[in-house]
Amino acid sequence: MARRHYSKQSPGKKLIAKLKSSPFMPVFFVFTIIGALYVFTRMKGIEQDYKYNDLAKRIDVQKIQNKELKAKKARELSVKNLKAYAKKYNLQEPDEKHIIVVPKK
For the chain, what is the domain count? 1
For residue 33, how far is the Cα from the chain centroid?
A: 28
> Domain limits at 35?
19-88
Residue 66 located in a structural domain = yes
Residue 6 banded pLDDT, cuts 50, 70, 90: low
**Domain for residue 103, yes or no?**
no
Domain annotation covers residue 97: no
Q: Is 37 inside a domain boundary?
A: yes
Q: Please indicate, yes or no, if residue 6 is contained in any of the structural domains.
A: no
Are the C-beta atoms of 75 and 81 separated by less than 8 Å?
yes
CA atoms within 13 A on the CB side of 102: 1
* pLDDT single digits (tens) 73-97: 999 999 999 999 999 999 888 888 8
**46 belongs to a structural domain:** yes
* Residue 65 confidence (pLDDT): 98
Q: Higher pLDDT residue, 105 or 30?
A: 30
Phi, psi angles (nearest 5°) of residue 90? 55, 50
Q: What Cα–Cα distance (Å) separates residue 9 from each residue in 2, 12, 20? A: 21, 8, 15
Q: Is residue 82 included in any domain, yes or no? A: yes
Q: What digits encode the pLDDT tens for the residues 10-67?
A: 878 877 777 777 787 788 889 999 999 999 999 999 999 999 999 999 999 999 999 9
The pLDDT assigned to 97 comes to: 86
Please tell me whether the overall predicted TM-score, pTM, comes out greater than 0.75 for this model.
no
